[in-house]
Amino acid sequence: MITVLGASGNTGGQVVRRLRAAGVAVRAVGRDAARLADAAAHGAEPVVGDITDPAVRTAAFRGAEAAYVLMPLDLAAPGYRRQQEQVGTAITAGLRAAGVPRVVALSSLGAEIPSGTGFLETLHQQEERLAGLDARVTLLRPGLFFESFLPALPAMLAAGVHHDTVAPDVALPMVATRDVGDAAATALLDPGAVGVREVPGPEDLTLPDAVARIGAVLGKPLRYERAPDDVMRAVLVEAGLPADLTDEQLAMNAAFNRRVVRRRGRGPATGSPTTIEQWAASLVSTTGA
């Protein structure tokens, strides 16, 4: 039996579907029973509750032969760093107490860098916590999710322009979360899996290229404009993003601009076939965007 944390989310949902298709018993963890309905429909056993609750993490991890874990964001939590520390510590404690022998953990490209990377720093800290487990740990390091464009998409489509602070000539590895879920399932189904597995996506993309290609699929010309940090900070806070999360995002973008967040290679072993056009086309069929 394999435990999947975040089973109602982007990557975890795909992990559940892949494991169930392979005939593996799955425990699907999330805080909302309704959102776990798809996992349950695929035959997974739901565990409903917050992973920071000791009783929930015991129910989640007890007897598991392997686990998929991630660091969920909570926009309603009072402080990003504190929330990430709480959830990361709880997950590691639960895995340790249950003696789960194999762990596949969602991290990110750049998580090997200890500081100066904003959002990615908490994933570095979680990689360090997981390294203290007596378990075979696979660290999955994907590029930027295509899904990261979704919160800005309505404004982008309305205005025909996307603003961010990443330099227009910086090419970033970008990937569909479906492919990240597939890579996680592949690692979970491989008893020998251990160490770092990068999931960089099919190609590196600049933001001008990425938004133009999304726009071409959605039938709306889209362009990218780099915004100064202070302007972007005001826009994001106005849009409702907490100030500390806004600063984490700007710091991560600054690290992208320093070109320190790098992938190692790309090839059959890092296979993630979904192109940005295929991903954008799937938005049309699922959301009518």
Ligand X SMILES: NC(=O)c1ccc[n+]([C@@H]2O[C@H](COP(=O)([O-])OP(=O)(O)OC[C@H]3O[C@@H](n4cnc5c(N)ncnc54)[C@H](OP(=O)(O)O)[C@@H]3O)[C@@H](O)[C@H]2O)c1
State the residues that interact with ligand X by CB under 6 A: 6-12, 29-32, 35, 50-52, 70-74, 87, 106, 108, 123, 142, 144-145, 148, 177
> Given the complex with ligand X, which of 45 and 74 has the nearer CB atom?
74
Residue 61 beta carbon to ligand X: minimum distance, rounded to whole angstroms? 12
Per-residue CA distances from 168 to 75, 103, 171, 208, 209 (Å): 28, 37, 8, 6, 9
Smallest separation, CB 52 to ligand X (Å): 6
- The nearest distance, CB 81 to ligand X, in angstroms, is 13
Closer of 81 and 230 to ligand X (Cβ): 81
Q: 123 or 193: whose CB is closer to ligand X?
A: 123
d(CA 11, CA 185): 10
Longest CA–CA span in the chain (Å) reads 53
Angle between helix axes 207-218 and 276-287 (nearest 10 degrees) is 40
| Number of other CB atoms surrounding residue 220 within 10 Å | 13
Which CB atom, from 177 or from 274, has the smaller least distance to ligand X?
A: 177
Q: With CA atoms as reference, report the closest residue to 107 among 128, 124, 82.
A: 124
CB of 189 to ligand X, least distance (A): 18
